[in-house]
Structure 1
């Protein structure tokens, strides 16, 4: 008798390596039910993709997290339009898009490069030409994304360390904690108060940052409220900061584990975007996203009741051998294209996908301009423990400088 399949997004063993669990789900329980934690889950590529695209029956209005405190009608306060359905979602997303434009992202690239270089200068100094191990997350991958978001929003330089510390506090979970801990609630409130003050300052004096652009965004007299602006800023912190940090560390880790795949990149840095895409497929930061069934949904001859939670597992979908050849092999340059779901799909496709890809490309380019090799200290690497994102809290490396 095979052991019962268990999917527990809070389990530390699952965090270490979820992929064997996903394999069993795809093969044995493509529609999975966990009675104890009260959710359903879809693991096959086709089903996850259809799930992302079905924004009428699969609702976002209670948020996209399984954590009880993050779920509910209040979710939009911190998750903005990610926790809304149309027409509210479309209205807010369209207004935000007026400020968060592809052009603004393009124009940000020189500053992203400067910020990356600043952090790399410090990290390479500490690495002492390869003599000392350095924490790639602490010194680089964990700093750059939040500083880029702060740059975009207009957070003054002296405040950025504090803002970054609060952002980290929002996401941290200790083992066995299946809800939002008090420290994370406190960090969230501190961030919200800080952003409220920033919005008030911009009302008195507009600048050329995203916060001002959001205040000015207007369609036929309709403008964003202060709560809506702060909700979007908070979403940027959670969705934009955390996932990009994880992407950068996951790329470094899997590059180290697959030196044959990385070798061509040292010789040709234009291949870095291919490295980023394969990392997004192979070990995506966003592993699990929740939806709430609205009405009735029948899958695999099973009717899922109205109001039930359904988890979509892009982390599993990307390893589905029904869609990818040799899915468990890390192959930089493989054909991925629209099969990637790291940024979702359909109406809720991530507005920050361009920004994340640009940041990752710039960060890895600048890093590789300085080195001709690096080693990860796997024994002292520490994974993040989260019910929906996957990556490293600490990734000690030694580098061989060019």
Structure 2
């Protein structure tokens, strides 16, 4: 039997990890990568159980595979994603008072305005017969603007913040750690948010940053129930990387994969008020999710499939593999907009348990507004699949470039 080759640092694996996932699920569902010394769970049932099991699969060392991002200080940039209860519960509870469902839903009119603004510019070029880049000109801009407006990042700073966020997740071929440029970008972002926080203390506004400060002031009877500056900065850092990058990748994957299935593409774009947009988003989340791999630190031995991953080990939850598990999803490698709702309800793209993604509703809202608006205004889409360029990242999967041509209605 040939070697499995589960190496997320390898560019070849990053281009298409799904054949390796399938072999792991079939042959070695608790796989040990000896070179990098981590274990991997690839089956849906195992991943879901790990996400929901207390006291075994710890987040306290972070969720990244890279050695320099792994350790007890991970929470400084991962916020509550790098914590276990009770610290995680306390921080998530406080942050949730600022990042409320009402605040998220209140963004919809502004998301629509931003969507229209960027689509106007893209479709002007389309009407002139020009192509444009779905990522550079639209999908990379909309989520950054939404997150930035929510946090209070001025328009003039957003391109630079996005450039830094891109550097944070980019990985060099053959380098098995965070590159120097990624470390420097992380420091710059932390410094930027520290300055922004200082400004809000002097002059509060209506944004999320000020709301997080207000939570600190209103609930600050003791040190145990208020947000420190470092905690607010870490959450803002998490938002711009996790909230921005993953939604950009979702929008990129949505167009890339649908356009590879002309019959389904025609069905979606046949009706300006297509009812298939929701299914399009959910099947994209399942088929090629933005967040592929999440690391955990084992607080106990984990015995599964006649193997034991020992206490103290690093274990990886392969989210992308779980979403393609043939035990849960029929024809899992088919991109199918008619997939039953009961299957889609079992996707693990946003994690689960205590660490279920706080931004899941925002990501779905942005995708709904963006893709409904696209269908309303466009009759036909062509994607230059051979010219698309993938992002190189250990845990985030998506595109840096998706060249397209569109026919306006």
User: Does 2:346 align with 1:346?
Assistant: no
Matches within 5 A, 1:152-163: 152-163=150-161
User: Secondary structure, in 3 states, of the residue corresponding to 2:392?
Assistant: coil
User: Secondary structure, in 3 states, of the residue corresponding to 2:400?
Assistant: strand
Looking at structure 1, the residues matched to 112 and 169 of structure 2 have their Cα atoms a distance apart, in angstroms, of 26
User: Does 2:68 align with 1:69?
Assistant: yes
TM-aligned CA deviation for residue 337 of structure 1: 4.2
TM-aligned CA deviation for residue 69 of structure 1: 1.3
Mean Cα displacement is larger for which, 82-91 or 139-148? Answer: 139-148
Unaligned 5+ segments in structure 2 are none
Contact 2:169/2:396 (8 A) holds in 1: no
Contact 1:147/1:164 (8 A) holds in 2: no
Contact 1:275/1:333 (8 A) holds in 2: no
Counterpart position of 2:195: 197
User: Does 2:318 align with 1:320?
Assistant: no
Counterpart position of 2:176: 178
Looking at structure 2, the residues matched to 178 and 141 of structure 1 have their Cα atoms a distance apart, in angstroms, of 29
Looking at structure 1, the residues matched to 238 and 31 of structure 2 have their Cα atoms a distance apart, in angstroms, of 29
User: Does 2:185 align with 1:187?
Assistant: yes
Looking at structure 2, the residues matched to 307 and 345 of structure 1 have their Cα atoms a distance apart, in angstroms, of 22
Mean Cα displacement is larger for which, 335-344 or 228-237? Answer: 335-344
User: Secondary structure, in 3 states, of the residue corresponding to 2:404?
Assistant: strand
Mean Cα displacement is larger for which, 293-302 or 241-250? Answer: 293-302
Unaligned 5+ segments in structure 1 are none
Counterpart position of 2:41: 42
TM-aligned CA deviation for residue 303 of structure 1: 2.3
- RMSD, aligned CA: 1.3
Contact 2:127/2:408 (8 A) holds in 1: no
Looking at structure 2, the residues matched to 270 and 105 of structure 1 have their Cα atoms a distance apart, in angstroms, of 23
User: Does 2:218 align with 1:245?
Assistant: no
Counterpart position of 1:21: 20
Contact 1:170/1:184 (8 A) holds in 2: yes
Counterpart position of 1:269: 274
Counterpart position of 1:33: 32
For residue 211 of structure 1, the aligned residue among 209, 212, 223 is: 209
TM-aligned CA deviation for residue 206 of structure 1: 1.5
User: Secondary structure, in 3 states, of the residue corresponding to 2:405?
Assistant: strand
User: Secondary structure, in 3 states, of the residue corresponding to 2:297?
Assistant: strand
Task: Report how many residues are paired.
Answer: 400
User: Does 2:369 align with 1:362?
Assistant: yes
Looking at structure 2, the residues matched to 67 and 111 of structure 1 have their Cα atoms a distance apart, in angstroms, of 37
Mean Cα displacement is larger for which, 285-294 or 198-207? Answer: 198-207
TM-score with structure 2 setting the length:
0.95
Matches within 5 A, 1:43-62: 43-62=42-61
User: Secondary structure, in 3 states, of the residue corresponding to 1:298?
Assistant: strand
Matches within 5 A, 1:129-168: 129=128, 131-168=129-166
TM-aligned CA deviation for residue 285 of structure 1: 0.6
TM-aligned CA deviation for residue 220 of structure 1: 6.6
Looking at structure 2, the residues matched to 242 and 333 of structure 1 have their Cα atoms a distance apart, in angstroms, of 27
Looking at structure 1, the residues matched to 171 and 314 of structure 2 have their Cα atoms a distance apart, in angstroms, of 21
Looking at structure 1, the residues matched to 77 and 54 of structure 2 have their Cα atoms a distance apart, in angstroms, of 20
For residue 371 of structure 1, the aligned residue among 378, 383, 395 is: 378
Matches within 5 A, 1:372-387: 372-387=379-394
Matches within 5 A, 1:285-304: 285-304=290-309
User: Does 2:204 align with 1:232?
Assistant: no
Looking at structure 2, the residues matched to 55 and 122 of structure 1 have their Cα atoms a distance apart, in angstroms, of 49
